[in-house]
Structure 1
């Protein structure tokens, strides 16, 4: 699967009503690897930012899973949604860069 197809698939997973966080992380890692294998440093910044936000997503998920207080859970869900939106924006930015 080419990078563009991977990005479109990932974007679909990110915008799904019921996010499959494990699949999102796996697809994101595959995209980071694909970006690392591209020519030169054109996508280096995107790759680094995607990798960073995937690590933060993992932390957010673990905190959310361990939270017992409903208010804490709401805070964690908001953090997950914000991370999700950030990853969507990076996905769109890479798709735009590919098209250019």
Structure 2
């Protein structure tokens, strides 16, 4: 599967009403591997940022799963949603960069 197809498939998972966090992480990792294999440093910044936000997503998920208080859970869900929006923006940015190439 080429990078553009991977990104489009990931975008579908990212914008889902009930996000599948595991699928988001797995597809994101596959995309970062594909970005790492591209020629030159063209997508280096995107790859590094996506990797960073995937790691932060993992932390947010672990904090959310361990949260007990309702207020704490709401804060963690908000953090997950914010991370999801950030990843959506990176996905769109890479798709735009591919289109301009």
- Find the counterpart in structure 2 of residue 6 from structure 1: 6
Consecutive unaligned residues in structure 2, runs of 5 or more: none
Partners of 1:31 and 1:50 in 2: CA distance? 9
- Find the counterpart in structure 2 of residue 94 from structure 1: 94
Instruction: State whether structure 2 residue 22 is matched by structure 1 residue 22.
Output: yes
Partners of 2:59 and 2:74 in 1: CA distance? 15
Consecutive unaligned residues in structure 1, runs of 5 or more: none
**Structural RMSD (CA):** 0.2
- 1:1-100 to 2 correspondence within 5 Å? 1-100=1-100
* TM score, norm. by length of structure 1: 1.00
**Corresponding pairs, count:** 100
1:81 to partner: Cα distance: 0.2
